[in-house]
């Protein structure tokens, strides 16, 4: 069965991502369950760093000016790290990667979309950062580029908020 597609309807346009449910079942299922429940609808990108990534998924970002934006997670708490030898996806441009606090098993609802090849974030490379990739933008990468180009403040928060109005999960044929 083909992997599901998540359609992100944002204030800057729409992009679609394949979610690697076949290779990253724990991380992908967590994302898909949250998306299907409407958890991500109405949240804002809370961290944007040009030449690096755009980050999303904090429930406190519903208010884009909240000082807590970037510190929250899902109601069910964290999920286990998913480091699978048969799923060594690098943090390449356009990939969706699980954000975490740097501690083991601290991922939850927040993730980022790489806008550069951030191989040093790969879980299978030496170093302290370990971020598993669980999806890839397959359509609308120009929208991600527009989000990345949004002017930010000193805390990397977009000056003009970028909202994800809705995330729709569909099968490969487009049915929701």
Give yes or no: 112 in active site: yes
Residue of 129, 111, 112 lying closest to 120 (CA atoms): 129
Structure tokens at 78: 């964290």
For the domain spanning 5-170, the CATH number is: 2.40.100.10
The single residue of 131, 134, 136, 157 carrying the catalytic annotation is 131
> pLDDT at position 173, please?
53
Give alpha helix (H) positions in 68-159: 141-148
Give yes or no: 30 in active site: no
Give yes or no: 56 in active site: no
Give yes or no: 114 in active site: no
Give yes or no: 110 in active site: no
Rounded to two decimals, what is the model's pTM?
A: 0.96
Low-confidence ranges of the chain (pLDDT < 50): none
For the chain, the structural domain boundaries read 5-170
Give yes or no: 9 in active site: no
Q: Are 22 and 3 in contact (CB under 8 A)?
A: yes
The single residue of 55, 91, 114, 118 carrying the catalytic annotation is 55
> pLDDT at position 174, please?
55
Residue of 132, 137, 112 lying closest to 122 (CA atoms): 132
The single residue of 3, 30, 100, 114 carrying the catalytic annotation is 100
Phi and psi dihedrals of 142, rounded to 5? -65, -30
Q: Are 70 and 61 in contact (CB under 8 A)?
A: yes
């Amino acid at each position: 069965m083909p992997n599901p597609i998540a359609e992100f309807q944002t204030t800057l346009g729409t992009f679609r991502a394949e979610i690697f449910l076949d290779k990253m079942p724990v991380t992908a299922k967590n994302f898909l369950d949250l998306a299907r429940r409407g958890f991500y609808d109405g949240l804002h990108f809370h961290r944007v760093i040009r030449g690096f990534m755009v980050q999303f998924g904090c429930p406190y970002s519903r208010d884009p000016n909240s000082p807590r934006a970037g510190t929250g997670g899902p109601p069910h708490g964290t999920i286990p790290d998913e480091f699978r030898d048969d799923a060594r996806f690098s943090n390449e441009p356009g990939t969706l990667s699980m954000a975490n606090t740097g501690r083991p098993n601290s991922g939850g609802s927040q993730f980022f979309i790489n806008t550069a090849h951030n191989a040093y974030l790969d879980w299978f490379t030496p170093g302290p950062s370990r971020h598993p990739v669980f999806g890839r933008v397959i359509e609308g990468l120009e929208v991600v580029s527009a989000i990345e180009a949004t002017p930010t403040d000193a805390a990397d928060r977009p000056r003009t908020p970028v909202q994800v109005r809705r995330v729709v999960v569909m099968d490969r044929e487009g049915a929701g």
